[in-house]
């Protein structure tokens, strides 16, 4: 016994089957994500640190240009503030003297990859290669042994985070974005950062933002007047036993 279906019936049946399959895939994905979060298997980089101390970190990504780098360094010196610069190999190749100057002035250096790719699109082997070559070049140019890594574009997943950690590195994101890469004015960035910042936050800037120097001059002045201590990222985060919650906040155990 069998049913004889018309061409239209086949099309309807096919559409129904397709919808069911899509729903099953979506449900499966959502269940998988829920299980990962519930069991602690979904890994997150560090966006912010859970602390009651009035400590924050200012960081700079360097992957294009260097016209404003020395100005930024001079302003940091003015307030005796040390920060973290995340450097890409393609930037290091063009500006080795600036990288050396960053380190000479006492700032921390972190990894930001070799070629600035989307890490979630790379194989495990390629991820390790991007990290190791970046680490080696930073060491060669500046003498600094970097332990922090910020993924380009903020692009990561649990697999990427695990590889970073397995290589003995701390994956770092940010909790406050200055948006200097959008060309905001110094006053716009100052207002944006100071209205959002709190203990344990990590602020994102870039080394060659047009108005970044002016903004950090005012931001540092305001933060210090409010009793904040500005430290490199590695001095803000926990190094021993810790966990990162689903919101990317690092907690000490």
The whole-number pLDDT of residue 253 equals: 87
Please give the helix or strand (H or E) that residue 23 lies within, else none: helix 7-39
The whole-number pLDDT of residue 125 equals: 98
Residues in the chain: 253
Which neighbouring-strand residues pair with 231? 57
* Residue 84 contacts residue 107 (beta carbons within 8 Å): yes
As its CATH architecture, domain 48-252 has Alpha-Beta Barrel (3.20)
The whole-number pLDDT of residue 240 equals: 87
* Residue 85 contacts residue 59 (beta carbons within 8 Å): yes
CA-angle at 44, arms to 209 and 113, nearest 5° = 45
- Walking along the chain (253 residues) 10 residues at a time, the average pLDDT comes out as 45 43 37 38 94 97 95 98 98 98 98 98 98 98 98 97 98 97 95 98 96 97 98 96 96 93
Give the whole-angstrom CA distance, residue 141 versus residue 164.
Answer: 22
CA-angle at 151, arms to 38 and 209, nearest 5° = 130
> What pLDDT digit, counting tens, does each position of 226-245 carry?
999 999 999 999 998 999 99
Strand, helix or coil for residue 205 = strand
Q: Where are the domains of the chain?
A: 1-42, 48-252
Give the whole-angstrom CA distance, residue 135 versus residue 89.
Answer: 9
Give the whole-angstrom CA distance, residue 16 versus residue 5.
Answer: 15
Longest C-alpha distance within the chain, in Å? 88
* Residue 79 contacts residue 103 (beta carbons within 8 Å): no
The whole-number pLDDT of residue 24 equals: 40
The whole-number pLDDT of residue 35 equals: 33
């Amino acid at each position: 016994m069998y049913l004889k279906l018309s061409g239209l019936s086949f099309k309807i049946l096919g559409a129904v089957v397709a919808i069911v399959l899509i729903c099953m895939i979506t449900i499966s994905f959502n269940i998988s994500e829920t299980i990962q979060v519930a069991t602690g298997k979904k890994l997150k980089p560090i966006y912010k640190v859970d602390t009651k101390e009035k400590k924050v970190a200012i960081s700079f990504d360097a992957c294009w240009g260097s016209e404003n780098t020395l100005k930024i360094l001079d302003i940091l010196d003015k307030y005796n503030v040390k920060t973290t610069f995340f450097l890409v190999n393609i930037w290091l190749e063009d500006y080795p003297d600036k990288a050396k100057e960053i380190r000479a002035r006492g700032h921390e250096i972190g990894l930001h990859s070799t070629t600035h790719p989307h890490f979630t699109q790379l194989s495990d082997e390629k991820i390790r290669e991007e990290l190791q070559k970046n680490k080696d070049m930073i060491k060669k140019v500046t003498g600094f042994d970097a332990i922090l890594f910020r993924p380009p574009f903020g692009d990561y997943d649990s697999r990427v985070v695990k590889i970073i950690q397995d290589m003995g590195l701390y994956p770092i994101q940010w909790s406050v974005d200055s948006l200097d890469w959008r060309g905001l004015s110094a006053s716009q960035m100052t207002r944006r950062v100071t209205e959002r910042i709190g203990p344990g936050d990590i602020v994102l800037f870039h080394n060659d933002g047009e108005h970044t120097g002016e903004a950090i001059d005012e931001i540092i002045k305001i933060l210090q007047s409010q009793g904040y201590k500005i430290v490199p990222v590695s001095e803000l985060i926990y190094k021993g036993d810790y966990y990162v919650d689903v919101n990317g906040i690092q907690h000490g155990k």
